[in-house]
Amino acid sequence: MKCRKILVSFVCMLVVLTVVLGFKIQVQADSKEKSNTISNGIYIDEIDVSGMSQEEATEVIESYLADLGDKTITFVIDSNEVVVSASDLGMEWKNKDVVEDAANLGKTGNIIQRYKALKDLERENKNYPIEISFDQNKIEAVINEKCLVFNVEPIDASIKRENGKFVVTDGQTGVGVDVLASVKLVEDSLKEWDKADTSIELAVELVQPKATKDDFDKVNDVLATFTTSYSSSGFARSANIDNGARLVNGTVLLPGETFSTYKAISPFSVENGYYLAGSYLQGQVVDSLGGGICQVSTTLYNAVLRAELEVTERHNHSMIVSYVDPSADAAIAESAGKDFQFVNTTDAPIYIEGITSGKKITFSIYGHETRPANRKVEYKSVTLTTTEPTGVKYVIDNSLLFGQQKQTQSPHTGYTAKLYKHVYVDGKETQVTEVNYSSYKAEPAYVSVGTAWGDEVSVATLAAAVATNDVATVTATIDSLAGVVNQAAALQAQAEALAAQEAAVE
């Protein structure tokens, strides 16, 4: 009995050994012929790669992926569509080592492991999945470049004053693609991609207008108004003030927005409606395009103060102006970078009305009044020091007859001053606050002295006298050159007579 068991065990071992040796012999024989080929029954993403070399399988898979790259991905934006290819989104084959894994199946490990792997293939095919990824940056770039064109911008409500009343036009809500949310939607969708043409609905959001009809319906109150006169101004300066008021008129500022007077009224050019008129420059009154425009900014400044809005930039003039008290002015100077700016610090939009009539300019600021009715504000100018101008500044002018004098600028008194804000409740003063400090230069009268028709030596002598800026010296020099003065007058008269004769002949 014992011998029989030993015999049976020996026979079983012999059978196993025979099978294994046979498999080994078969594997060795196959390996000589198919050492670089993939075993039968192996698939990559449902593609049969049996009998292929790694190079052949890789080529087949890459061709398959190229076809996948042409699959369409449709982005849906509301009722619009953008069609792109999978390759446009940076499609990439991640697990390229899958071909090597497929080729090694049944060819690695000990003989028992290899035998088992091949026997498993005889019973059931082995399928290796292909892993595909997409480039987040390319997805975002496609959305930015091709989908945002379908954004519908919101339209702000508008307000306009006509015939003494406000007319409000309602706005419109916009629609926009939420880029970051859309990128995530696309990424999540493509993780489950079935490798077929597909559509993905992007994330869109409603974009509210900055200003609505409800906002503008609050604009019913006059927060402040201020008027200055330019009755002594000539045509050009008056036209510049009219033009500046026109450019500012109708301005709307939402809560928190800043107004720049310079941006509103520039550029100072003929095309923008400006004329040459007097303005301050380095202590002199000179003609410049837009001369007089500072009366626009000054009038607006005083209205803004009385509306109690926040002033963020204000500069005084270099010399005193006549249309407001000291320290109540606000200068604009392109060359010096001077601007008048303020912020709408109220809870509602404000509307600025600028009008001119009868050589007066008025700015009114409309909005939502929240200040108590029993509270009033007043602004008072206090002059600290006064400096009287001294002497005369002489300037050579070759357009005037030799020795002739002409005052081109009156003297300006210098001042330092402060502006104070006084608050009254029920008629009783409750608060006094310093608003600003201003310093204005004293400037003497400017007098031009002519040199026309004078000889070279006499002109040099007169120029030397003018350089002293001494009245007595200039007067004495002109008196000493009386002969030259008379001769210049005679020469000018002759030239004028000759020009008149030539004109008559023509």
Say whether pLDDT at 31 is over 50.
no
Tokens encoding 325: 């008290």
Asked if residue 206 is part of any domain, the answer here is: yes
Residue 336's pLDDT is 76
Q: What is the pLDDT of residues 482-491, one digit of tens each?
A: 888 898 888 8
Whether residue 278 has pLDDT greater than 60: yes
* Averaged pLDDT, 281-304: 87
pLDDT band at 8 (very low <50, low <70, confident <90, very high): very low
> Domain for residue 113, yes or no?
no
| pLDDT tens digits for range 342-399 | 999 999 999 999 999 999 999 999 999 999 999 999 999 999 999 999 989 999 999 9
Structure tokens at 206: 């409603």
For position 253, what pLDDT does the model report?
97
Q: Looking at residue 2, what is its pLDDT?
A: 47
Query: Is the Cβ–Cβ distance between 366 and 222 less than 8 Å?
Result: yes
Q: Which residues pair with 416 in a beta bridge?
A: 385, 439
pLDDT of amino acid 12: 44
Q: In the predicted model, is pLDDT for residue 77 greater than 70? A: yes
Amino acid at 364: S
Instruction: Find tokens 């990424």 and name the residue.
Output: 187
**Beta carbons within 8 Å of 378's beta carbon, 6+ residues apart:** 421, 422, 424
Give the model's pLDDT for residue 381.
Answer: 98
Q: Could you report the per-residue pLDDT of 213-226, keeping only the tens digit for each?
A: 999 999 999 999 99
Residue 352 shares a structural domain with residue 278 = yes
Report the share of the chain in percent with pLDDT over 70: 92
Residue 435 confidence class, pLDDT cut points 50, 70, 90: very high
Q: What is the pLDDT of residues 444-461, one digit of tens each?
A: 999 999 999 889 999 999
Pairing of strands 158-162, 132-133: unpaired
The highest-confidence range among 1-10, 403-412, 418-427, by mean pLDDT, is 418-427
For residue 417, what are its two tokens? 């001053």
- pLDDT band for 32, please (50, 70, 90 cuts): very low
Locate 489 and state its tokens: 């007058």
- Cα of 240 vs its chain's centroid, Å: 29
| 345 lies in the same domain as 241 | yes
Residues 235 and 317 in one domain: yes
Q: 265 or 124, which is more confident?
A: 265
pLDDT score at 283: 65
Among 369, 387, 417, give the residue marking a domain's end. 369
Give the SS3 label for residue 124.
Answer: coil
Q: Which of 159, 180, 213 is the last residue of a domain?
A: 213
Helix (H, G, I), strand (E, B) or coil at 22: helix
pLDDT at 68 over 80: yes
Q: Are residues 245 and 320 in the same domain?
A: yes
What is the distance between the alpha carbons of residues 27 and 68, in angstroms, rounded to a whole number? 37
Percent of the chain with pLDDT over 90: 72
CA atoms within 13 A on the CB side of 120: 11
Q: What is the mean pLDDT of residues 225-249?
A: 96
Q: What count of residues does the chain have? A: 506
Is 195 part of any domain? yes
pLDDT at residue 496 in the model:
85
Residue at which a domain ends, from 190, 213, 236:
213
Q: Taking the alpha carbons of 397, 322, 356, 303 in that order, is the dihedral positive or negative?
A: positive
Same structural domain, 194 and 224:
no
Contact between 241 and 274 (Cβ < 8 Å): no
Q: Which pLDDT band holds residue 287 (cuts at 50, 70, 90)?
A: confident
Cα–Cα distance measured from residue 113 to residue 20, given in angstroms and rounded to the nearest whole number: 11
Which of 344 and 163 is assigned the larger pLDDT?
344
Give the model's confidence band at 21: pLDDT under 50 very low, under 70 low, under 90 confident, else very high: very low
pLDDT bracket for residue 438 (50, 70, 90): very high
Interior CA angle at 386 toward 382 and 390, to 5°? Answer: 160
Q: Give pairs for 231-234: CB < 8 Å, separation 24+.
A: 231/359, 231/360, 233/277, 233/292, 233/359, 234/277
Distance CA 65, CA 84 (A): 16
Residues 192-206: pLDDT tens digits?
999 999 999 999 999
Does 286 lie in the same domain as 209? no
**What burial letters (b/e) apply to 342-368, b meaning 16+ CB within 10 Å?**
bbbebebbbbbbbebeeeebbbbbbbb
CA pair distance 506, 498, nearest whole angstrom:
13
pLDDT on residue 176: 93
Question: Is 4 a residue whose pLDDT tops 80?
Answer: no
In a shared domain, residues 226 and 342: yes
24-38, 80-94, 226-240: the lowest-pLDDT one: 24-38
* Domain co-membership, 290 together with 332: yes
Spatial separation of the C-alpha atoms in residues 54 and 60, rounded to whole Å: 10
| pTM metric for this prediction | 0.72
Q: What are phi and psi of 79, to 5 degrees?
A: -105, 10
154 and 242 fall within a common domain: no
Q: Read off the pLDDT band of 15 (50, 70, 90).
A: very low
Average pLDDT, the chain: 89
Q: Is residue 125 part of a domain?
A: no
- pLDDT tier for residue 35 given thresholds of 50, 70 and 90: low
| The 3-state secondary structure of 234-292, one letter per residue | CHHHHHHHHHHHHHHCCEEECCCCEEEHHHHHCCCCCCCCCCEEEEEECCEEEEEECCC
71 Cβ contact list (under 8 Å, min separation 6): 85, 86, 195, 196, 197, 198
Q: How far apart are CA 406 and CA 196, in angstroms?
A: 92
Torsion sign, CA atoms 219, 225, 231, 232: negative
Task: Give the confidence band of 506 by pLDDT, cuts at 50, 70, 90.
Answer: low
Query: Nearest to residue 253, comparing CAs of 208, 304, 328?
Result: 304
Q: Residue 277: name the closest of 313, 216, 232 by CA.
A: 232
Please indicate, yes or no, whether residues 298 and 208 belong to a single structural domain of this protein: no
Tell me what pLDDT residue 315 has: 96
Selected residue with higher pLDDT from 433 and 291: 433
Kindly state whether residue 335 falls inside one of the protein's structural domains. yes
Does residue 54 fall inside a structural domain? no
Domain count for the chain: 2
φ/ψ of 327, rounded to 5, equals 75, 0
What does the pLDDT look like over 96-105, one tens digit per residue?
Answer: 898 988 888 8
- The structure tokens listed for 267 are 């550029």
Domain limits at 289? 219-369
Whether residue 5 has pLDDT greater than 70: no
Q: Are residues 224 and 185 in the same domain?
A: no
Give the lowest-confidence range in 8-17, 144-153, 386-395: 8-17
Residue 150: the pLDDT is 93
Residue 293 is assigned to a structural domain of this protein: yes
